[in-house]
Structure 1
Amino acid sequence: MAFPSVQTLRELQKTLNSTIDSYVRAVEANDIKQSIGISTRAYAAARDVTDAFCDPGMAVLGAGLEPIMNLALRIAIDLDLFILINESVSLAELVKQTKAEDTLLHRILRVLVGTGWMAEPEIKTYSLTKRGEFLKLAPWRDWIKTSFDSLAPVWLEIPEWLRKNGYRDIIDLKNNPSMSMYGVNWFDNLAKYPSREADFASSMKLKDEFPQNALPQFPYASAIENFEYELQQGGSDVFLVDVGGGRGQYLNQLLEHSDLPENARFVLQDLSTVVSSVIRSAVKFEPMSHDFFSPQPIKGAKYYHLRAILHNWPDDGCYHILSLLKDALKAGYSRLLINAYILPELQVPAIPSMIDVNMWLYCGKERTENEWHALLRRAGLKVLRIVRAEVGLHGIIEAALVDEINFGT
């Protein structure tokens, strides 16, 4: 292995320090868009430092063996290792609690130590690292289970599907790897396995586990006066419709932490199989059965909110969803809110770029700001503004009818 020269390290150090300083200045100036771009460069600079100490051959070998890490994590979750390990625990104690053979357990634990999920302060004694502690939370464990049990089988099908289909992008709802494997789309196949479907639903709660500064904070309070005036004029008393909002995670958080009008209605819409589990007396919103591929029954609400919906669909599917919502908007008043990833045009970070490729399973995609503008324009809508999270790539796109007279937000 060839170690980097002192000159190379000095240059890498200078670049990394300069990028971190720029990021701090952008955050202190509350320049969110600038800080997002700089954070991407900072991540790349830190990776360059790591790469300088990493032999390229070992990096390639590690990439090929990375599924073994996922395998070890999956087995560890089945054995409840991340729950059983609180402080330092011996191999003998873990064998006693899991009933697993000691040699098998030792080999799995070695992988988890080597990949940074656990520490080994003494021989055959284990504790959790910071990232390992996250797997004490059910949604994170269920994400590992979902990726291994339900996503990975289709990932393995994709190279062969692409070879057979001339390396076309995967956007055809009738011809895609999931249909090739199962004869139905990915979600319909998942529904055949209740335990896996439950794991997937649990893993989707990760959206609510992000720190507050990684979630866009839309200024709903600024629209209260506009809403109350509309109400006085005989308009809709619905302030927000959360379309495809699951079991109400977003609405629960919004109503708990926001100062919103007491005389306003908040409506949760999703398929009947989803909203039927919501107990009306326990929530401050109204559950309503609705398929977003059918006409929107609530007309003229102030806001229609879509969170993590459109990335599941190709552009044609999104156009259909948006067109139906467009028909419900009241010109000069109603607003559409799209709560989603907004990818940068340059140097997309690793996790968002991989999430985008994972959307092949559903024929969906993550989109850049320009792609969001184009999609909304096609549906007869225009972007008014984008409210971004302080860190990361999440944002809320506020849109309105393209031909309306803008009477304010």
Structure 2
Amino acid sequence: MASTFSELDDLVALITTAVADVKAEYTKLNLPFPKLADVNPHPIDSTIIPQKLQRATQTISGACAQLSALVVPPSQIMYMRAGDFITTASLRVALESNIADILKDHPDGLHVSEVASRSGIEQGKIGRVLRLLATKHCFREVKKDVWANNRLSVGLLQDNPLRYIIAFNADDSGKAGGYLYETLEDKVSGPSYAVEHTPFARFHGKPVWDFFLDNPDRSQRFSKGMPGFAQVFDTNTMIHGYPWQDIPAGSTLCDVGGGFGHISMNIARLNPGLRVVLQDLPSNVEPAKALWQAQASDIIQAGKIEFVPIDFFKDIPVAGCDYYYMKHVIHNWPDNASKTILANVKKAMQPNSRLILQEYVIQHTSRDQDNAQNDLETAPEPLLPNFGEGRFLRYRLDLSMMIVFGSHERTLDNFKELGNAVGLELVEVRNCGELSAIEYRLAEP
């Protein structure tokens, strides 16, 4: 008879092996392992994470969560999950009252009475909020009622862009999420993917883009959070996750909807023989030029960057480029709008061109044969094949896109269907850290 503890033992074994991998990778990088009490930036925070290290951390996260689901009474787990909003609400209190900044110059801690005085929140209540967050390892109680920052809470400092994307999630988006059920069961908004029919629009009385127009402070906060978004979703891993350095000199990369071109600038650094065409809305062209002049003037002087305005719903990108690249563009739009964007890119492509999307690929949670996805990495058993909690970010983002934009992250089948609908064939999916590189070519006639 098989041991009744087999799943427990297998999960512990996965954790043990993954911890050994983490130690080996930090040793290889010649980096000390961070401590939760640290408040200064750690070198790993600005390092492109090796795939083996990332896989180990995903395994640890997924296995620990599954282990907890096995051993903790189900009633407690479900009750705590239904109360996740309390953690979100507590984070918003810490954000709006600038607790991290109040503690910034007090590494040995500050008594709760002083925190209360500076934040304007009653002493007993702010202490309870901090205690809940510290129980989640955000902030640190150095001794009774004396509070200090730690490795997590410094993400809430006003000079950290992560703060602003957390604020959007805890405030504008988080409040709207409470209307998800009402939106889904409604006979009009339920089947609709229009941005006018989202929980965000239901709660705020207008779609997100109109909300930003009417609330410029909220729009500015969201924009300030974009570098923080890049931190969370590790978008820079694309630079080394795709073989840009192997592209022949003289090839052209068209960065469609590339904003100011942070990623394509780094790709150009990696392959100096590459020529870049950066395309985004007209309002972004001059700021992009200023950024490149400040950070990559040598590329401008060499004539290897061109700035071209585009509305990718109406315009065709610069024709005949070897590579077209779109980072986190398609996930902002429902299928019909995404097909319009991809169809316009397809019109610009030549027979040897490639289109590369940098996006999440959603995996199923079952291992049955119908759901086998040989092109995607699956977790070892007994983990869920999608790594469970280890890759939860993409599933949370998927629902966030539903709540705010009426759009979604996509499965491998979804990406194939999108391509087929506009005459593009999916060639390959590469694992590039958190995100994947989804590569298309023109379909055979």
Aligned partner (choices 268, 272, 285) of residue 260 of structure 1: 272
Letter paired with 1:309: V
8 A Cα contact 1:139 1:203, kept in partner: yes
Aligned partner (choices 225, 235, 247) of residue 223 of structure 1: 247
- Matching residue of 1:335: 354
Report the alpha carbon displacement of residue 8 of structure 1 after superposing the two structures with TM.
Answer: 6.4
Letter paired with 1:123: K
Distance 1:167 1:288 in 2: 37
Distance 1:266 1:39, change over 3 A: same
Distance 2:236 2:276 in 1: 24
Distance 1:95 1:41, change over 3 A: closer
- Matching residue of 2:316: 296
- Matching residue of 1:17: 13
Report sequence identity in percent: 21
Write out per-residue CA displacement over residues 51-74 of structure 1, whole angstroms, 9 at most, x where no aligned residue: 344333332332233222212211
8 A Cα contact 2:18 2:57, kept in partner: no
Q: Following superposition of structure 1 onto structure 2, how do residues 52-201 of structure 1 map, counting pairs within 5 Å?
A: 52-86=70-104, 87-90=107-110, 91-136=112-157, 138-165=160-187, 168-173=190-195, 175-181=197-203, 184-201=206-223
Letter paired with 1:365: H
Letter paired with 2:151: K
- Matching residue of 2:438: 397
Letter paired with 2:284: V
- Matching residue of 2:284: 274
Letter paired with 1:118: F
8 A Cα contact 1:138 1:202, kept in partner: no
Which deviates more, 123-132 or 206-215?
Answer: 206-215
Distance 1:166 1:214, change over 3 A: same
Distance 1:33 1:92, change over 3 A: closer
Write out per-residue CA displacement over residues 269-323 of structure 1, whole angstroms, 9 at most, x where no aligned residue: 2223333433433354443321110122411112211111101111111111000
8 A Cα contact 2:160 2:228, kept in partner: no
Distance 1:95 1:249 in 2: 41
- Matching residue of 2:254: 241
Secondary structure at the residue paired with 1:116?
coil
- Matching residue of 2:46: none
Distance 2:396 2:210 in 1: 23
Distance 2:200 2:142 in 1: 44
Aligned partner (choices 320, 334, 348) of residue 314 of structure 1: 334
Aligned partner (choices 344, 364, 371) of residue 345 of structure 1: 364
Superposed CA RMSD in Å reads 3.3
8 A Cα contact 1:221 1:259, kept in partner: yes
- Matching residue of 1:380: 423
8 A Cα contact 2:253 2:321, kept in partner: yes
Distance 1:207 1:96, change over 3 A: closer
Report the TM-score, using the length of structure 2 for normalisation: 0.74
Distance 1:99 1:177, change over 3 A: closer
- Matching residue of 2:32: none
8 A Cα contact 2:355 2:440, kept in partner: yes
Distance 1:341 1:184, change over 3 A: same
Letter paired with 2:85: P
Write out per-residue CA displacement over residues 166-215 of structure 1, whole angstroms, 9 at most, x where no aligned residue: 89455235544445455643223223211211221222223532558854
8 A Cα contact 2:140 2:148, kept in partner: yes
Distance 2:117 2:203 in 1: 40
Are 1:204 and 2:216 counterparts?
A: no
Aligned partner (choices 396, 400, 404) of residue 354 of structure 1: 396
Distance 1:167 1:189, change over 3 A: closer
Distance 1:97 1:362, change over 3 A: same
Secondary structure at the residue paired with 2:12?
helix
Unpaired segments ≥5 residues, structure 2: 26-49, 366-383
The alignment of Structure 1 onto Structure 2 pairs a total of residues equal to 378
Are 1:51 and 2:69 counterparts?
A: yes
8 A Cα contact 2:183 2:190, kept in partner: no
Write out per-residue CA displacement over residues 110-137 of structure 1, whole angstroms, 9 at most, x where no aligned residue: 2222232122121111223432233346
